[in-house]
Each structure stands twice: as structure tokens, then as C-alpha cells.
Amino acid sequence: MLLSAQDKRARLASLVRGHEFVVAPGVFEMISAKLADGMGFHALYMSGYGIAASHLGLPDAGLASFSEVCDRVRVLASGTQTPLICDADTGFGGLLNVRQTVRGFEAAGCAAVQIEDQVSPKKCGYTAGRQVIAVDAMVKKIEVALEAREDDALLLIARTDARAELGLDEAIRRGCAYAGAGADVVFIQGPESIQELEQIGAAIEAPLLVNLGHGGKTPVVAAKQLAELGYGIAIYPGIAMLAAAAALETVYATLARDGDSTKLSLPRYDFDAMHRLMGFEAVWAFEDRWSPSDEA
């Protein structure tokens, strides 16, 4: 039996507030979520980029609606045992939208909601030209989000994108303000060196999240070192998606070139294991129990 949403939220909140380091791989649809769910991670990270790409085939540019993303939260959370951290972009608009987002994501089963201080419509965190709203406006969003949640174990992650355009000092100033407003976790997007990671860890007195996106500007640092620098959560939002895309490209290119798969040497998941992952054994057991008897 799956854990309840309340149990999953309580589990993640206890880890983060107890200063235990959490590694959260990115998941973007149910095969990735089910595979990661069986690996013993403390949390999974629902990537906004991954959801826009896999569900809609669109860039992460504020094009996915609240209802579309909330539906993905519900599917992923209900099908996994591991607490789910959910990217909610800007909260999908103003203060009323933020309240609706937190309530909707909580009801859908997520364990932590991440809201950023970008101007709407947002831009992908790996692209240039990101603009941020005023600090006071983001603080109000945080206050509304905290009031909107029914379960105090639902973590609010406040992200700032100020580093790219306004510099590290401004990003740290915002991170301190967001922690002061009550955010459970602070996320500064895009530190560009280990020294910057150290500065952030020394300056902000709140659990910190770091985005280790392969291809981004933040150096990929070992978990032990990150914990020593004061970080509590490391997310890897794109690594599985990029690996899956590379594997798919290889398979399709081989079929297109050769007309068959005889020369395909790429490792592949065992088909019987895929049956088990998808829950066929439960279906077969149900059918064995309820199928009409041959003697009837």
C-alpha cells in the first residue's frame, strides 16, 4: 500500500528540518518516476522543464498551465512512495494564483512546492534574460503560500533567479529575505563556482537547495562537500531526461538507418522487468481470481 501524502510530506520535512542531506533525481513521466521510486531516494524532483517537454513537447517558458502541471503532480505523486518536490514556476501568476497553486499541489499529493521570483511568463533557468520581481512582491507570495497550505509539513521552497542578471550579492540578499519571510528552503539558481556556493552557504541561515543541472553553470559537486557547505537538498532535474533522450535517439536512428534492430547494442530494460514495474503481476493475480471457472 502506498504511503499517504501526509506521511510523505512528514517524512521529507523531518529530513530537511533535521539537516539530513537529500538527493532528489529529476523525474518527468511515470516510467522515470517508477524507476527512481525503487532506488531508495529521500525525494524525487518533478522538473518543470521535463514536464513541459514530455507532456506537451514545449519549451520551459511558462507555456504549461496550472491545471496541466497540477495534473502531472497528481499522477506522479499517486504512483510513487517517495516524497515529490514540485516545480511550480512563479506560482502561475499573482497572489491569488499562488494560493490556488499551493492548495492544488498540496491536494494533488506533493511534499514540497517550489516557487520562483521571476517575472511572468517565466524563462527556463538555463536561459539568459531572466527578470525578477521586486523582493517585497516575492515576500508577499511566500506569505500567501505559507497561509494557503493546510499541512505545515508541506515545504515551501523559495527560488531566486537574480544571480544571472543582478549578481550574487543581490541573489544572497533575496535569499536572506525569503528565509526571513518563512520559506522552509531557499534555492539560489545558478551559482557559478564552488566559491559562490560557499558564500551562499555561509550567508543564508535556512536549508538550502542546489540545482546540479548537467550543462548549467553550477559546478557538479559531491554530496559530502555540499553538505559541508550548508546545503540540504541537491536536485538533478535533467540528467535522466537527457540520458533517456540520447538512448531514444540511438534506437530510432538505428532503425531508420538499417531498417531493423539487429545491430543495436544499446543496453535495454528487460521486458519482464518492465511488466513488473508497470504492475502487470497485480493485474494477472486479479484475473486469476475473478476469471470465470472452466467448469462453470
Per-domain boundaries in the chain: 5-244
Q: How many residues does the chain have?
A: 296
Report yes or no: 225 and 33 within 8 Å, Cβ to Cβ.
Answer: no
List the grid coordinates of 113: 512546492
pLDDT reading at 187 higher than 80: yes
What phi, psi does 221 have (nearest 5°)? Answer: -115, 145
Rounded Cα gap, residues 83 and 64, in angstroms = 23
How much is the pLDDT for 128?
74
Rounded Cα gap, residues 140 and 146, in angstroms = 10
Report yes or no: 59 and 52 within 8 Å, Cβ to Cβ.
Answer: yes
Quick check: bond before 83 cis, omega within 30?
no
> For 221-279, what is each residue's pLDDT tens digit?
999 999 999 999 999 999 999 999 999 999 999 999 999 999 998 999 999 999 999 99
Report yes or no: 83 and 117 within 8 Å, Cβ to Cβ.
Answer: no
How many angstroms separate the most distant Cα atoms in the chain? 78
Rounded Cα gap, residues 12 and 96, in angstroms = 27
Residue type, position 87, single letter = D
Rg of the chain over all Cα atoms, to the nearest angstrom? 21
pLDDT reading at 296 higher than 70: no
pLDDT reading at 178 higher than 80: yes
Rounded Cα gap, residues 66 and 89, in angstroms = 10
What phi, psi does 47 have (nearest 5°)? Answer: -75, 125
User: Crossing angle, helix 239-258 and helix 30-37, to 10 degrees?
Assistant: 120
Helix (H, G, I), strand (E, B) or coil at 53: helix
Residue 269 DSSP code: -
How much is the pLDDT for 112?
98
How much is the pLDDT for 294?
60
* Dihedral angle over CA of 126, 70, 231, 242, nearest 10: -50
Report yes or no: 176 and 204 within 8 Å, Cβ to Cβ.
Answer: yes
> For 87-104, what is each residue's pLDDT tens digit?
999 999 999 999 999 999
Q: 214 falls in which pLDDT band (50, 70, 90)?
A: confident
Helical spans, DSSP H, in the chain: 5-17, 30-37, 48-51, 66-78, 95-108, 135-148, 162-166, 168-180, 194-203, 223-228, 239-258, 271-278, 280-290
* Domain 5-244, CATH among 1.10.10.10, 3.40.50.2300, 3.20.20.80, 3.20.20.60: 3.20.20.60
